[in-house]
Structure 1
Amino acid sequence: MREVTLWSIVNIKTKTRKHHHIQDGWTSALIPRPISKEFTNQKAWTKLGENEVWQNQAGHLLENGHIVRIGEPLRR
Structure 2
Amino acid sequence: MGLGFALLPEGAQFHNQTLWGSIGWATPAALGAALAAPEKRIILITGEGSHQLTVQEISQFVRFGLKTYYSSIK
On whether the aligned pair clears a TM of 0.5, the verdict is no
- Select the structure that is richer in helix: 2
- Select the structure that is richer in strand: 1
If asked which structure has higher relative contact order (CA below 8 Å, sep 6+), I would say 1
- State which structure, 1 or 2, has the greater radius of gyration over its C-alpha atoms: 1
Per the normalisation by structure 2, the TM-score is 0.29
Per the normalisation by structure 1, the TM-score is 0.28
